């Protein structure tokens, strides 16, 4: 690895540790257990990959194994944050999904299109990790965007911890989607590692945002009567 790679790895590891310290010291892990596990996994991944990068075969499978695990954890974090945000308005994920099923259909269609068009790999672990990462990036990117718009409309702002986690996820997932789009256009999986390295500064910025927001206490959320009326009308079943 070059000097620049070492700087990126060291910076990412230090920021991950800093965020973990905030989550533990401020006891945020109690509300965000999956998010805490995601950050801990990133720290462990940095250490493991640093020590195995000299062994190409081990590094190859280790990298793609962590990529699949990271993608699955992001989906769990999305569920965790969505549940917390919607609960503040007396809403549930299942209720929103039933009402806006058409959005889910469109998202599934986009997933299938990406799977069809993106280049594959003869290595089964790589192919599985790539598909899982694509699915996670598209789902998290799309759903976080919808949640940000909805919760912002109903009065939640950046200082809410769950909302801050959501903003960070959206920022990083749009970077991931950009990587997947370039990968699709280039048609060459050999460019994957180089494109992933270009995302590290974006991830570092995301970590700084999370550290700053999670350090401070969040304001109390008190839905106003007008907001509650809007929610009741929104969740009423459609009449023929």
How confident is the model at residue 141, as a pLDDT?
Answer: 73
| 3-state secondary structure (DSSP) of residue 121 | coil
pLDDT class of 189 with cuts at 50, 70, 90: low
Kindly tell me if the per-residue pLDDT of 168 is higher than 70.
yes
State the residue for tokens 């590692």: 193
Kindly tell me if the per-residue pLDDT of 30 is higher than 80.
yes
- Please tell me the distance from the alpha carbon of residue 94 to that of residue 97, in angstroms, as a whole number: 5
How confident is the model at residue 28, as a pLDDT?
Answer: 94
| CB neighbour list of residue 46: distance below 8 Å, 6 or more residues apart | 9, 12, 13, 16
Q: How many CA atoms lie within 13 A of 110 on its CB side?
A: 19
How confident is the model at residue 60, as a pLDDT?
Answer: 76
Closest CA to 169 of 134, 141, 198: 141
How confident is the model at residue 228, as a pLDDT?
Answer: 52
| 3-state secondary structure (DSSP) of residue 2 | coil
How confident is the model at residue 240, as a pLDDT?
Answer: 42
Q: Phi and psi of 172, rounded to 5°?
A: -70, -35
Mean pLDDT of 70-94: 81
The least confident of 38-42, 105-109, 202-206, 213-217 is 105-109
Could you tell me which residue, 114 or 33, shows the higher pLDDT?
A: 33
State the residue for tokens 């230090």: 14
Structure token digits, residue 19: 């965020």
Structure token digits, residue 174: 């749009």
How confident is the model at residue 10, as a pLDDT?
Answer: 87
Could you tell me which residue, 207 or 179, shows the higher pLDDT?
A: 207
**Helix, strand, coil percentages in the chain from 3-state DSSP, rounded to 5:** 80, 0, 20
Closest CA to 1 of 203, 178, 193, 179: 193
The least confident of 29-43, 77-91, 202-216 is 77-91
The sign one gets for the Cα dihedral 71, 76, 79, 85 is negative
C-beta of residue 74 within 8 angstroms of C-beta of residue 140: yes
pLDDT class of 172 with cuts at 50, 70, 90: confident
Mean pLDDT (the chain) is 76
How confident is the model at residue 32, as a pLDDT?
Answer: 95
Structure token digits, residue 239: 């009449």
- Please tell me the distance from the alpha carbon of residue 53 to that of residue 32, in angstroms, as a whole number: 31
C-beta of residue 40 within 8 angstroms of C-beta of residue 13: no
How confident is the model at residue 239, as a pLDDT?
Answer: 45
Mean pLDDT of 170-189: 72
């Amino acid at each position: 690895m070059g000097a620049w790679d070492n700087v990126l790895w060291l910076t990412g590891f230090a920021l991950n540790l800093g965020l973990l310290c905030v989550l533990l010291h401020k006891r945020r892990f109690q509300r965000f257990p999956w998010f805490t596990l995601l950050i801990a996994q990133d720290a462990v991944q940095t250490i493991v990959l640093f020590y195995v990068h000299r062994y190409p075969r081990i590094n190859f499978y280790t990298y793609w194994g962590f990529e699949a695990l990271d993608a699955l954890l992001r989906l769990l974090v999305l569920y965790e944050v969505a549940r917390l945000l919607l609960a503040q308005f007396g809403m549930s994920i299942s209720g929103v999904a039933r009402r806006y099923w058409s959005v889910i259909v469109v998202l599934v269609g986009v997933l299938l299109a990406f799977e069809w068009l993106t280049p594959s790999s003869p290595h089964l672990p790589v192919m599985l990790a790539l598909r899982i990462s694509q699915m996670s990036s598209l789902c998290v990117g799309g759903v976080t965007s919808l949640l940000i718009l909805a919760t912002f409309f109903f009065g939640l702002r950046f200082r809410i911890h769950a909302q801050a986690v959501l903003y960070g996820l959206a920022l990083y997932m749009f970077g991931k989607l950009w990587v997947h789009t370039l990968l699709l256009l280039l048609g060459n999986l050999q460019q994957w590692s180089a494109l992933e390295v270009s995302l590290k500064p974006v991830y570092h910025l995301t970590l700084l945002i999370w550290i700053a927001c999670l350090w401070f206490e969040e304001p109390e959320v008190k839905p106003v009567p007008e907001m509650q009326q809007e929610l009741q009308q929104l969740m009423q079943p459609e009449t023929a």
